[in-house]
Amino acid sequence: MPKIKELQNKSIERKDLSVDEANWLIGRTDDETLDLIAAANEIRRHFKGNKIKLCSIVNAKSGRCPENCSFCAQSARHKTEIDIYPLMSADEMHKKADKAQKEGATCFSIVTSGKGIKLEKEIDEICRALSRIKDIKINRCASLGILSKDQLKKLKAAGLKKFHHNLETSKSHFGKICTTHKYEDRIATIKAAKEAGLSVCSGGIFGLGESLEQRVELAFMIKELDPDSIPINFLNPIKGTKLEKNPLLKPFEALRIIAMFRFVMPDKDIVICGGREVTLRSLQPLMFIAGANMTLLGNYLTTAGNRPEDDLKMIADLGLEVSK
Whether residue 1 lies inside any domain: the answer is: no
Whether the CB-CB separation of 54 and 229 falls below 8 Å is answered with no
Whether residue 10 lies inside any domain: the answer is: no
**CA dist., res. 233 & res. 116, Å (int):** 21
Whether residue 51 lies inside any domain: the answer is: yes
Res 81: pLDDT: 86
Number of domains in the chain: 1
Res 133: pLDDT: 96
CATH number where 75 lies: 3.20.20.70
Res 305: pLDDT: 85
What is the SS3 assignment for 241?
Answer: coil
Res 217: pLDDT: 98
Whether residue 74 lies inside any domain: the answer is: yes
Cα dist from 221 to 168, 205, 216, 231, 264, whole Å: 11, 14, 9, 14, 11
pLDDT digits (tens, 9 = 90+) for 69-98: 999 998 989 888 888 999 999 999 999 999
| Domain carrying residue 170 | 18-316
- Count CB neighbours of 282 within 10 A: 7
Percent helix, strand and coil across the chain, each to the nearest 5: 45, 15, 40
Say how many residues make up the chain: 324
Q: What is the DSSP string of 132-191?
A: HHTTSSSEEEEE-SS--HHHHHHHHHTT--EEE---BS-HHHHTTT--SS-HHHHHHHHH
- Count CB neighbours of 261 within 10 A: 29
Handedness of CA 265, 192, 196, 148 (dihedral sign): negative
One digit per residue, the tens of pLDDT, for the chain of length 324 reads: 799 999 999 999 999 999 999 999 999 999 999 999 999 999 999 999 999 999 999 999 998 899 999 999 989 898 888 889 999 999 999 999 999 999 999 999 999 999 999 899 999 999 999 999 999 999 999 999 999 999 999 999 999 999 999 999 999 999 999 999 999 999 999 999 999 999 999 999 999 999 999 999 999 999 999 999 999 999 999 999 999 999 999 999 999 999 999 999 999 999 999 999 999 999 999 999 999 999 999 888 888 789 999 999 999 999 999 998
Helix and strand numbers (H, E) in the chain are: 13, 10
Whether residue 76 lies inside any domain: the answer is: yes
Whether the CB-CB separation of 171 and 221 falls below 8 Å is answered with yes
Percent of the chain with pLDDT over 70: 100
**269-272 and 204-206 strand pairing:** unpaired
Whether residue 107 lies inside any domain: the answer is: yes
**CA dist., res. 169 & res. 208, Å (int):** 8
Q: Which one-letter DSSP state was computed for residue 209?
A: S
Handedness of CA 193, 197, 198, 200 (dihedral sign): positive
Cα dist from 68 to 71, 76, 113, whole Å: 9, 8, 12
Whether residue 166 lies inside any domain: the answer is: yes
Whether residue 266 lies inside any domain: the answer is: yes
Q: What is the DSSP string of 28-85?
A: --HHHHHHHHHHHHHHHHHHHTTEEEEEEEEEEEBS-B-S--TT-TTBTTS------B
Q: What are phi and psi of 303, to 5 degrees?
A: -130, 155
What single-letter amino acid sits at 94? Answer: H
Q: What is the largest CA-CA distance in the chain?
A: 58
Q: What are phi and psi of 23, to 5 degrees?
A: -65, -35
pLDDT digits (tens, 9 = 90+) for 88-129: 999 999 999 999 999 999 999 999 999 999 899 999 999 999
